[in-house]
């Protein structure tokens, strides 16, 4: 039987559930999941998949503001996608992304995420495309180009890069994207 993701807002998750998500993310990112990364994962909708051993997969979508073509858009930014090591490559990441994509379709202008080299294949297989233009963030002193994020920032469905080759993200502490 294929598990179904449970969707819940951060406010609806019990402290023990949030603790299990943090453990999964710490394990999946080999301890390279900072407190800022954790903060970025909170405040939105979570997709959780459980099996007989507990939490098997997770992802979240949070709202970000992104300026494109002269207009600030409401973007569903995907965060904290992880699958427990013993059940990777079994389709659970796709289940999580399917649930998050439904939320993006219903509530946002488009979706965005920053893909690791390991995660890029999953996102590409689902129709997410690497943004071909410039990536910037509106920092305290004005726009800051994030050249290191160019090529790893994916969007779905893709806004028209011919109309405007820049995405200007809102600023946040830690890794901006």
Q: Is the separation of the CB atoms in 60 and 73 below 8 Å? A: no
Q: State the first-to-last Cα distance of the chain, in angstroms, to the nearest integer.
A: 36
pLDDT at residue 3, as a whole number: 86
pLDDT at residue 156, as a whole number: 97
Distances (CA, A) of 22 to 28, 51, 95, 163, 171: 10, 17, 19, 39, 23
Give the residue ranges of the chain where pLDDT is below 50.
Answer: none
pLDDT at residue 18, as a whole number: 98
pLDDT at residue 117, as a whole number: 87
In this predicted model, what pLDDT tens digit does every residue of 110-161 receive, in sequence order?
999 999 988 999 999 999 999 999 999 999 999 999 999 999 999 999 999 9
Q: Measured on CA atoms in the order 138, 111, 151, 47, is the torsion positive or negative?
A: positive
CATH annotation of 6-170: 3.40.630.30
pLDDT at residue 118, as a whole number: 85
User: Where exactly are the structural domains of the chain?
Assistant: 6-170
pTM, entire model? 0.96
In this predicted model, what pLDDT tens digit does every residue of 118-129 receive, in sequence order?
899 999 999 999
């Amino acid at each position: 039987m294929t598990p179904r993701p449970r969707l819940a807002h951060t406010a609806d998750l019990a402290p023990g559930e949030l603790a299990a998500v943090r453990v999964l993310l710490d394990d999946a990112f080999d301890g390279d999941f900072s407190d800022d990364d954790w903060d970025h994962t909170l405040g939105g909708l979570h997709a959780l998949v459980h099996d007989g051993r507990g939490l098997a997969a997770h992802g979240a979508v949070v709202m970000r503001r992104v300026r494109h073509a002269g207009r600030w858009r409401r973007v569903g930014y995907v965060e904290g996608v992880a699958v427990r090591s013993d059940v990777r490559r079994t389709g659970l990441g796709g289940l999580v992304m399917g649930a998050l994509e439904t939320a993006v379709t219903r509530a946002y202008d488009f979706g965005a995420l920053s893909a690791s080299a390991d995660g890029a294949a999953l996102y590409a297989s689902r129709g997410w495309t690497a943004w071909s233009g410039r990536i910037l963030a509106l920092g305290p002193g004005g726009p800051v180009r994030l050249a290191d994020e160019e090529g790893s920032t994916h969007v779905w469905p893709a806004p028209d890069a011919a109309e405007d080759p820049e995405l200007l993200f809102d600023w946040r502490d830690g890794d901006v994207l």
